[in-house]
Amino acid sequence: MRLFSLCHRFFIFYHKYPFWQMTAKNPKAVYACINMGEAWVPEEIAERSICIDGDIGEVIKKMIDAINF
């Protein structure tokens, strides 16, 4: 289980890191993520980030429902 956890963290970091870097370098950028259990960002970009901890399908459905009220 521990090896899976380490591999999973590496995978998440490897894919998110370039976007974190771009957000950090561009003062007009906002980083957004929807991810169950992994919705977090580095402290350096936290004020310019929108993170939703949840299932992306459920989040999008709720957003659509809210628009169509």
List the chain domain ranges: 2-68
Percent of the chain with pLDDT over 90: 64
pTM above threshold 0.85: no
- Is 3 a residue whose pLDDT tops 80? no
**What tens digit of pLDDT does each residue of 14-68 get?**
788 899 999 999 999 999 999 888 888 999 999 999 999 999 999 999 999 999 9
Task: List Cβ<8 Å contacts ≥24 apart for 9-15.
Answer: 12/38
User: DSSP assignment of 34-60, as one string?
Assistant: E-TT-----GGGGGGEEEE-S-HHHHH
pLDDT attached to residue 2: 64
Confidence band (pLDDT; 50, 70, 90) for 4?
Answer: low
How confident is the model at residue 16, as a pLDDT?
87
